[in-house]
Structure 1
Amino acid sequence: LGLTQVNTRNYAVCGSTSADIYNQVASRLFAPSKPELCLYALGNPGADFLRFYPPNGLNGVYVDLTNQVASTRLIDTAVLNFSNAVQRLYQKGARSITYWHQTGTNGSDIVALGSARAGLLDGYTRSYNAKITAAMEAFGRSRPDVRLYPINLYVLWNDISTNPTSFGFTETTANALGDPRLRDKSFSGPGADYLWWDRSHATSKFHGFIATSMFEELTNSVLEQLEATPANATHQIQMNHLLIGRDYTLQGSPNLNHWQDLQTFTASAGTNQWMGAPNNAATIFYRLKW
C-alpha cells in the first residue's frame, strides 16, 4: 500500500499462545491518541492447542488429550489469558474489539492424532469457544460502553471443509507448497484455490472468507441496548453499546405505530442517557433508530 511501517502504530504477531497475546497487549501495545475510535482485532490462541499434538506438543510442552484434568486446565488457562488481554485493551481505551473462535478439527488432525483423539480435540475446541463466549458476554454486560464482535471461525471452517466446492476450493487434502503436481506456486496460479497453503496454514482464499465474515459482523451486528428506569413522573433511558460517531435518534411510542423523536445525537461515547416525562399513555415503548 506504500505505507511506512511504524512499530508503535502497527503491531501484529501470529502464532501466539494466549499468554503471548496477553503480554503483547499489556507490554507492547501503545494506545493511540484516540483509542476509542479504533477497532482492535484479537485472533484466537491457536498455538495453545498445539500442545495437544504428540510427541512434543509446543516447545516441549505436551498435554495428552485423554488427560481430562490437564486438558481442561489448558482450555481454562487460555480463556483466562485471553479475557485478561481484552480487559487490558479496555483499560487502554479500546471500545470496539473483535475476537475469533477457534476452528474445528480437519483431516490433518485425524492423521496426526488418530480419529479418537481428533474427536477429543474437537470437543475441547467447542469447550473453549463456549467458555470464551460466556466470558466475553459477561465482560460486555459489566461494561455498557464496549462493543464486542465474535467471529465464529468454527462454523465457517466447518461449512467450508464439509462443502468446499461451493466456496470455490478445488483441493482440500494436498497443500499448495507440498503438492508435486502443482508446479505454479504463485498466488495467482491454480494453488490459489487450494484450502491448504502448507501443512499447517490455510491459503489466502480461506483468509478472504475470514475477512468477509469480519466485515459482515462489523456491518450487520446490532449491539445497541436500551434500559428503561421509571422514576416517579419521568423515565430514564440508558443507551448502551453505542457506536462512537454514529447518528442516533431515540424515539417513543404509545402503540408501536406512531413514533415521536425524543432525542437526536451523535454518539461521542459508548453510552448515553435521556430523561423525560412520558405522555399520559398507560404504556410507552422506546426504540433507538439509526
Structure 2
Amino acid sequence: MESSGVKRWIVAAVVLSLLHGSVLAEPQVPCLFIFGDSLVDNGNNNNIQSLAKANYLPYGIDFPNGPTGRFSNGKTTVDVVAELLGFDDYIPPYSAARGQQILRGVNYASAAAGIRSETGRQLGGRIDFTGQVNNYRNTVQQVVNILGNESSTANYLSKCIYSVGIGSNDYLNNYFMPLYYSSSRQYTPEQYANLLIQQYSQQLKNLYNYGARKFALIGIGQIGCSPNALAQNSPDGRTCVKRINDANQIFNTKLRGLVDSLNRNTPNAKLIYIDAYGIFQDLIQSPSSFGFSVTNVGCCGVGRNNGQITCLPGQRPCRNRNQYLFWDAFHPTEAANTFVGRRSYRAQKASDAYPYDISRLMEAKITKLSIFYYYMLLVYLITKCDGKIQQVPCVFFFGDSLTDNGNNNFLATVAKVNHTPYGIDFPAGPTGRFSNGKNIPDFLAKSLGFEKAIPPFAIAKGTKILKGVNYGSGGGGILDESGSQLGDVMSMKKQVINHGKTVADITLLLGNSARARDHLNKCLYVSNIGSNDYINNYLSPKYHLSSTLYTPQKFATILTNHYRRQIRRLYKYGARKVAIHGVGSIGSLPQFRSTKEFIDSTNRIIQHFNHRLPPLVDALNARLRGAQFIFINTTNIGQGDPSTIGIKVVDVPCCVVSKQIGLCDAGKKPCNNRNEYYFWDNFHPTEAANQAMAARSYAAASPADAYPTDIRNLVRRN
C-alpha cells in the first residue's frame, strides 16, 4: 500500500531509479532505519575488533550474497519487513551506506550491543544503542546536505519507519553473566528493567529530536529457550529457563507501557510494540503447525544443544534448515525470522502488535510539521558532536578571568592575556584564556558533550549562539566598581545585559519568543564570579574603601544581594538550570601567600560570602517557578590532595610573573613541567588544575562539592 505523501516525494523515486537502472514501484515508506543487536546486524561488526561477527560460512549459506555479517543462514526479520514494505533491496549497514543510498534508510545494528554501554564488553568492540543513535545523527546531517534544508529533511524523516529491537544482550551478556557483570547483584529484575527502560526512553527521545516519528519497538524474545540457555541451565535440554524468561517479560511489559506513555506525551509520535516473545511462543509450543521439527538445538554450533559455541568457520550445518527454529546457539534460522517478520508487519493475532502492526504504522498520518519542528531540527543539528550526545542544547558562562576566553581582548584593560606564554598548550595559541591551555568552561563544555568550546560574546555570531555564549571578563566582579583600577572590565550586570542581546538574537533565529524561551529553559547557565570583589575591591584598600566601610559579614551580604538581582534577571531571560560557583581560597594564591595567619584570615573573609550561597540557592529554588539552581563549592574542591592528579608544586607559579599585576611577562619562557604545577601565574590555575576542578564541578567527588546536586545530575533533570 502506498501513501499519497510518498508518491509526491520525487527524490526517492529518482534515487531508486538511478541506483537500480529502472523505475520500480515505490516502497510504502521512503526509508527504514534499523537499530538493534545481532538479531538484525547485517555487517556493521565486520570491520571492528570483536568476537561477535558472522562474516564467514556457514553464516549466509542461504543468503543470495553469501556471508554478509548476518547472524543467520539467510535473511533476518528486518530483511523480511523491508521486503514487505516494498523495498527492492535490503537496507545497507551504516558501515557501508554512502551517498544518496542513505535516503532509503540505514541499518545501525551491532552484534553484542545493548542499551547499557558496558553490555557485551567481554566480546570486544560493538556499537551500543547510544552509539547507534549518534551514527543516525550523522546520517541526518548527510540527508540535510542531500535534500538542501532542514524543513525538507524533517518532513521526509517523519514518514520513515524506525525499527528498534535491542535489550537482549543486556540480559544475555550482562545481567545473566555474573562472572563479568555485577548488575544481577546490584538490581532486582524489576529494578534492572526500570533502569533499561529509562535509558531506552532517552535514546528514543533523541531519535525523535532528530526527526523520527514512526517507531516499531521490538520486544525481547524468549532468551531462556535458546540453545545456549538450554545447554547451560536446562536439566533435560528442552525445558525453557523460567528465571531468564520471567526477567525478559518484565522488560517487555515495561516497554509496552513506554509505548503508551510516549504516544500520549510526544506530539506527532506514533509508536507500536511488537510482541516477539509471544510470536516465538507460538513456534515453540506448536512447531509442527508452522513446519518446524527441531526447537531446542541449533542447526550448527558446538556442544550440548549446539548451544555452547556459535557456528565455527567452515562448519557444515544441518541440511534441513527450514525445519530448525534456531540457526546457532542464539539466533533464529531464516525460516523463523520470516515467520516473525511477517507477523510483525501484519499481525495474525491481536497480541502480536500493540496498538497495531507495522502495516498500519506506515499508513499512520503525521500532521504536517509546523515551522517549530523545522527550527527544532535546526537546533539539534547545530548541537551535533562527535561520539557523544550533548546533554543540553546550549550552555552560557558568566564570570571573571577564570572564565574569560577572549572578551577582554577587545577592551582597554591591563587584564588581558592574548599573548604568549598564555595559550602555550592551547591548540589555537593565545586566545585570551588566563592559563597555559584550557580553562574550566572548556572542560565543562566537553563533559556536557560539546564538540567545540563555547565562543566568547565578543565574536559569537549567527547560529553559533544557539549552542551558548561565554560572557566572562577578566577583572569583572559582582559589583560594578570591582576591578575598575584595571581599566575596562565587564561586571556581572554588564554580562547579563549582553546576555539579553543574545536572547534577542536567538528569538530572531527561532522565529518568536515562545520558541526562544523553550530553547533557553533547557540550557545550562554557569556563573563563576566574586573573586574580584575581594582581590580587586575589598582586599585592595589602595583603590577601594569597601574594607573601611563594611565588616566582612556586611560586605558579603551586599555582594549576595547584588548577585541575587542579576541571577533573577537571568531567570527572566529564561534561565532555569543555573550552577553558581563559590569563591576559591584566595589567601592561598601565590600573589597573597604570606604567613599562615594571613592566609587563614583572608580565606575566612571569603567564607562569609560562600556560606551565603547555599541559602541563596534554596531561596531562589523556592520562589522562582521551575528554577533548578545549585551551588558548586569551589573551596572544598580546591582542598583536595593535588598529588592525586600529578600536581607537585602548589605555592609558586609556572610562568615568570610581573610583580606589579601578577600576570605572566609577555614572551618569557614558562616552566617545562606545567602539568605538575597548580598555578600558571599568581592568580590562575594551570590547564591540569582547571581540568581537575571542572571534573569535580561536573561530577562531585564528595557530597560537600555541590549542593543540592552536581552539574551532571542537574542537566539530567526535566
Give the TM-score band, short-chain normalised: 0.5 to 0.7
Partner of 1:42: 164
SS in 2 for 1:122: helix
Alignment of 1:61 with 2:181, yes or no, is yes
The alpha carbon displacement at 1:174 in A equals: 2.2
Task: Render the CA deviation track for 1:45-93: whole Å, top value 9, x for unaligned.
Answer: 111011233453xxx22544xx583433332221112111111111001
Alignment of 1:191 with 2:335, yes or no, is no
Give the letter for the 1:193 counterpart. Q
Q: Return the alpha-carbon distance in structure 1 between the equivalents of residues 273 and 281 of structure 2.
A: 16
SS in 1 for 2:241: helix
The alpha carbon displacement at 1:203 in A equals: 0.7
Query: What root-mean-square deviation, in Å, do the aligned CA atoms of Structure 1 and Structure 2 show?
Result: 3.3
Partner of 2:107: 11
Residues 3, 39 of structure 1: alpha-carbon distance in 2 compared, 3 angstrom cutoff: closer
Unaligned runs of 5+ in 2: 1-88, 117-127, 144-152, 304-314, 347-356, 371-718
Residues 28, 171 of structure 1: alpha-carbon distance in 2 compared, 3 angstrom cutoff: same
Give the letter for the 1:268 counterpart. K
Residues 126, 89 of structure 1: alpha-carbon distance in 2 compared, 3 angstrom cutoff: same
Partner of 1:112: 232
Task: Render the CA deviation track for 1:89-139: whole Å, top value 9, x for unaligned.
Answer: 110011111111111221632442357993222221111111111122111
Q: Return the alpha-carbon distance in structure 2 between the equivalents of residues 192 and 87 of structure 1.
A: 39
Partner of 1:230: none
SS in 1 for 2:192: helix
Give the letter for the 1:40 counterpart. Y
Partner of 1:22: 130
* Pick aligned residue for 1:174 from 294, 297, 310: 297
Residues 82, 268 of structure 1: alpha-carbon distance in 2 compared, 3 angstrom cutoff: same
Q: Return the alpha-carbon distance in structure 2 between the equivalents of residues 135 and 162 of structure 1.
A: 28
SS in 1 for 2:217: strand
Residues 193, 87 of structure 1: alpha-carbon distance in 2 compared, 3 angstrom cutoff: same
Alignment of 1:203 with 2:325, yes or no, is no
Residues 110, 144 of structure 1: alpha-carbon distance in 2 compared, 3 angstrom cutoff: same
Partner of 2:368: 268
Are 1:22 and 1:81, in contact at CA under 8 Å, matched by a contact in 2?
no
- Higher RCO (C-alpha under 8 Å, 6+ residues apart): 1
Are 1:173 and 1:196, in contact at CA under 8 Å, matched by a contact in 2?
yes
Q: Return the alpha-carbon distance in structure 2 between the equivalents of residues 62 and 164 of structure 1.
A: 37
Are 1:177 and 1:185, in contact at CA under 8 Å, matched by a contact in 2?
yes
Q: Percent identity?
A: 18
* Pick aligned residue for 1:145 from 257, 263, 268: 268
Residues 129, 119 of structure 1: alpha-carbon distance in 2 compared, 3 angstrom cutoff: same
Partner of 1:165: 288
SS in 1 for 2:158: helix
Partner of 1:219: 359
Residues 121, 3 of structure 1: alpha-carbon distance in 2 compared, 3 angstrom cutoff: closer
Query: Relative to total residues, which structure has the larger strand share, 1 or 2?
Result: 1
Q: Return the alpha-carbon distance in structure 2 between the equivalents of residues 99 and 147 of structure 1.
A: 11
Residues 107, 99 of structure 1: alpha-carbon distance in 2 compared, 3 angstrom cutoff: closer
Alignment of 1:73 with 2:191, yes or no, is yes
The alpha carbon displacement at 1:7 in A equals: 5.0
The alpha carbon displacement at 1:170 in A equals: 2.2
Task: Render the CA deviation track for 1:259-289: whole Å, top value 9, x for unaligned.
Answer: xxxxxxxx6359xxxxxxxxxxxxxxxxxxx
Residues 89, 6 of structure 1: alpha-carbon distance in 2 compared, 3 angstrom cutoff: same
Partner of 1:123: 246
The alpha carbon displacement at 1:192 in A equals: 2.6
Q: Normalising by structure 2, what TM-score?
A: 0.28
Partner of 1:102: 220
Residues 52, 7 of structure 1: alpha-carbon distance in 2 compared, 3 angstrom cutoff: farther
Task: Render the CA deviation track for 1:153-189: whole Å, top value 9, x for unaligned.
Answer: 0100111111111111121122111389xx9748xx4
Q: Return the alpha-carbon distance in structure 2 between the equivalents of residues 86 and 2 of structure 1.
A: 24
Are 2:215 and 2:272, in contact at CA under 8 Å, matched by a contact in 1?
yes
Are 2:220 and 2:276, in contact at CA under 8 Å, matched by a contact in 1?
yes
Are 1:169 and 1:195, in contact at CA under 8 Å, matched by a contact in 2?
yes
Q: Return the alpha-carbon distance in structure 1 between the equivalents of residues 240 and 175 of structure 2.
A: 9
Q: Return the alpha-carbon distance in structure 1 between the equivalents of residues 233 and 337 of structure 2.
A: 25
Q: Return the alpha-carbon distance in structure 1 between the equivalents of residues 289 and 219 of structure 2.
A: 23
The alpha carbon displacement at 1:206 in A equals: 1.1
The alpha carbon displacement at 1:221 in A equals: 5.9
Residues 114, 185 of structure 1: alpha-carbon distance in 2 compared, 3 angstrom cutoff: closer
SS in 2 for 1:37: coil
Partner of 2:61: none
Unaligned runs of 5+ in 1: 224-241, 245-266, 271-290
Are 2:133 and 2:207, in contact at CA under 8 Å, matched by a contact in 1?
yes
Are 1:53 and 1:113, in contact at CA under 8 Å, matched by a contact in 2?
no
Large movers: runs of 4+ above 6 Å: none
Q: Return the alpha-carbon distance in structure 1 between the equivalents of residues 177 and 292 of structure 2.
A: 30
Residues 195, 179 of structure 1: alpha-carbon distance in 2 compared, 3 angstrom cutoff: farther
SS in 1 for 2:296: strand
Are 1:22 and 1:84, in contact at CA under 8 Å, matched by a contact in 2?
no
Q: Return the alpha-carbon distance in structure 2 between the equivalents of residues 194 and 123 of structure 1.
A: 24
The alpha carbon displacement at 1:144 in A equals: 3.8
Are 1:83 and 1:132, in contact at CA under 8 Å, matched by a contact in 2?
no
Q: Return the alpha-carbon distance in structure 2 between the equivalents of residues 11 and 3 of structure 1.
A: 6
Are 1:195 and 1:205, in contact at CA under 8 Å, matched by a contact in 2?
yes
